[in-house]
Amino acid sequence: MIKIAVIGCGFFAGNQLHAWAGIEGAEVVTLCDRDESRLNVAGDRFGIARRYTDAAEMFAEGGFDVADIATTVPSHRALVEMAAAAGKHVICQKPVAPTLIDARHMVEAVERAGRIMMVHENFRWQSPIRKVIDALRGGEIGSPFFGRISFRSGYDVFSGQPYLAEGERFIIEDLGIHILDIARALFGDAERITAETRRINPDINGEDVATMLLRHKSGVTSVVDCSYATKREPETFPETLIEIDGTEGSLRLDTGYRLTIQNGDRSETRDVSPPLLPWTEKPWHNIQESVAIIQRDFIACLRDGKQPETSGRDNLGTFALVEAAYRSAAEGRSIRPEAP
């Protein structure tokens, strides 16, 4: 049994706790949150008796194998380094750190400890997205040369996470990081990125629209576009839409989780809708299911002693793209991302 400590009992952590409860061979034995009321609500709901308001005390007492860090970004580096010093494996929410330098230090700390670190970069683990990845890697449309990954919505994300309206950065850092990570999963690392951003909502501080052009080392050109200012019906939140052109055909992941693959005279549309698990609810169910998928994969990696697909080291490539996108938007030019 792999024993887990979950640090942070806020908005999203409930999904992680539900997911852990359904994974054979994994058990959450400890909870930690500085807010004692929130800590007790989560502990009572999931039947977890060991509870801490001080992470250092929790690490000192031990009794677990994995630290699942579900706190806000400014606390991540200290918590990951505490976990590494205590010899624990780590799964950490994204964005993994405030800066790329912080992220590198965190990854190196876990590597020096001989432990495994996964970043909870869960969009690429949504089952409809996995179907697209599998079709592309399986050669169903030949070699790709163009792709577009799009997430456009008018959904009020600030009601559940009001802190998102406060930062100077918003959509690329919070949502675009997921969509850029999907682009990397599909086409590999990018050697250049050009970004344009806008702020449409006057009540937030950061950008709520971003359009990014990527030139991948594989030769693929991709467009990544994100918006929380798009007013349309039907509302597609929280679906990511994808279209890819290849040398032998094309594919589209359309609204309603319909995957259409065309190759020559053949055209096939597949229903790749995510299942509605007992603890999930529409329209969040595709994101919630991906939490279970990514955490199940993490446990498998720990058992096999291998690095996860979204390892800390791999995620540096996604983080570097986010930083390069902000530089590009600020400086009005194409940027080469820093090497991970």
- How many residues comprise the chain? 340
* Per-residue model confidence as pLDDT tens digits over 182-222: 999 999 999 999 999 999 999 999 999 999 999 999 999 99
Residue 183 near residue 222, CB atoms below 8 Å: yes
Q: What was the pLDDT predicted at 127?
A: 97
pLDDT above 80: residue 340: no
Average pLDDT, the chain: 97
Mean pLDDT on 34-47? 98
Domains observed in the chain: 2-115 (3.40.50.720), 124-278+309-331 (3.30.360.10)
Q: What was the pLDDT predicted at 160?
A: 83
Q: What was the pLDDT predicted at 100?
A: 95
Q: What was the pLDDT predicted at 339?
A: 80
* Per-residue model confidence as pLDDT tens digits over 250-307: 999 999 999 999 999 999 999 999 999 999 999 999 999 999 999 999 999 999 999 9
Q: Which amino acid is present at 268?
A: E
Q: Which residues pair with 150 in a beta bridge?
A: 225, 241
Mean pLDDT on 27-51? 98
Q: What was the pLDDT predicted at 161?
A: 84
d(CA 64, CA 60): 11
Q: Which residues pair with 262 in a beta bridge?
A: 250, 267
d(CA 275, CA 281): 10
Mean pLDDT on 39-52? 98
Mean pLDDT on 138-162? 95
Pairing relationship of beta strands 2-7 and 50-52 according to DSSP bridges: unpaired
- b/e string for 297-310 if b means 16 or more Cβ within 10 A? ebbebbeeeeebbb
Burial (Cβ within 10 Å: 0-12, 13-18, ≥19) of residue 163: exposed
d(CA 278, CA 161): 24
Residue 256 near residue 97, CB atoms below 8 Å: no
* Per-residue model confidence as pLDDT tens digits over 9-20: 998 999 999 999
pLDDT above 80: residue 102: yes
Pairing relationship of beta strands 258-263 and 266-271 according to DSSP bridges: antiparallel
Q: How confident is the model at residue 92 (pLDDT cuts 50, 70, 90)?
A: very high
Question: H or E segment at 137?
Answer: helix 127-137
d(CA 282, CA 235): 13
* Per-residue model confidence as pLDDT tens digits over 233-254: 889 999 999 999 999 999 999 9
Q: Which amino acid is present at 70?
A: A
Residue 75 near residue 97, CB atoms below 8 Å: no
Q: What was the pLDDT predicted at 308?
A: 97
Q: Which amino acid is present at 201?
A: N
Mean pLDDT on 59-63? 98
Q: What was the pLDDT predicted at 95?
A: 92
Pairing relationship of beta strands 241-246 and 144-152 according to DSSP bridges: antiparallel
